[in-house]
Amino acid sequence: MPNPISQERIDFLISKDIYRKVAAIDLEMVKMKMNDPKESIGWSNEQCEDAEIEYKRYLTLCFNYPHPHYSIVPNKIMDTMWHYHILDTRAYCKDSENIFGGYFHHYPYFGLRGADDEKALIDSFEKTKEYYQYLFNEPMVRGGQSDCWHDCQDRCWHACSN
């Protein structure tokens, strides 16, 4: 069993411009599950730590740019950790209530309801990257998938799909 999130880790996350309440969310069990090759995707400890930062930045974006006025679109790393967080339903409900004042819903069909919806998804993702740059003073870039919110083996509108 992992130890609960430490104050040192919370302080580190706050230094990454993550909203204090979001930084304090304890995702240690989620990271343990994501790290276990028998249980999950077998991400390395480093990948899980990075995903925690990105996911918590996503939640910070959603807090600062709330729906329905904004549509914040996660990249693949953020979305993957979000899915694993949701699996711990009790913790996710508690965390949602603490951050957003109620359940923070996931709508997985954005972009799938025709050409106009797909364009809205692409436009929203581009705006999300702008908000990310503004809020965190760095681009929303991760590895070779810098502009993809998918893993380039699925729907992708960038050059990598050609």
φ, ψ of residue 141 in degrees (nearest 5): -125, 135
For residue 114, what are the CA distances in angstroms to 33, 76, 110, 117, 121? 35, 21, 10, 5, 11
**What does the pLDDT look like over 87-128, one tens digit per residue?**
999 999 999 999 999 999 988 888 889 999 999 999 999 999
pLDDT tens digit sequence for 1-38: 899 999 999 999 999 999 999 999 999 999 999 998 88
For 52, the token pair is 């925690």
Can you give the pTM of this predicted structure?
0.88
> pLDDT tens across 85-94, in order?
999 999 999 9
Give the span between the Cα atoms of 104 and 47, in whole angstroms: 24
